[in-house]
Amino acid sequence: MIQRLLSTASLALVVLLASGTVGAQQPQQPQQPANAKEAKAKFTEKFNAADTNHDGKLTREEAEAGMPEVYKNFDKIDTKKTGAITQRQIGAYGAAKAKQRKAAQDPGSLN
């Protein structure tokens, strides 16, 4: 159950990163996905649009042009320092951030 909630929270964070709404103050928030499946589809659509050469990876330039919030965190996401990041790496980064946020909210938790 906790793993499922963390997974859903991770997907939501990834969608927020992809849409550029994390930390941004905008007058109108885009409609949030109703469920994890919808969130994943929206993220994949955004990633594919940014991946202009369709190689399954985003370079720093592709991220800057198509996914600005991912670009801002590019060096943190690119843990292998290859100069390109995959959807999986962005998801792992989102999951780690969600876990950190949860731990900060519940300091007594062992997870």
Domain range list for the chain: 38-103
> What is the DSSP secondary structure assignment for residue 33, as one 8-state letter?
P
What is the reported pLDDT for 73?
97
Residue that has been written with the tokens 């499922």 in this structure: 4
Q: How many CA atoms lie within 13 A of 21 on its CB side?
A: 14
Q: Which residues pair with 85 in a beta bridge?
A: 58
Per-residue tokens: 75:
């060096």
Cα 71 from Cα 17, distance rounded (Å): 9
Q: What is the mean pLDDT of the chain?
A: 82
Question: What residue type is 45 in one-letter code?
Answer: E
The sign of the dihedral angle between the CA atoms of 103, 75, 32, 87 is: negative
Alpha helices, DSSP H, located in the chain: 2-19, 36-50, 60-66, 68-72, 74-77, 87-105
31 vs 38, more confident: 38
| Fold held by 38-103 | Recoverin; domain 1 (1.10.238)
Q: Tell whether the model's pLDDT for residue 10 goes beyond 60.
A: no
Per-residue tokens: 47:
């990633």
52 vs 17, more confident: 52
Residue that has been written with the tokens 């109108």 in this structure: 28
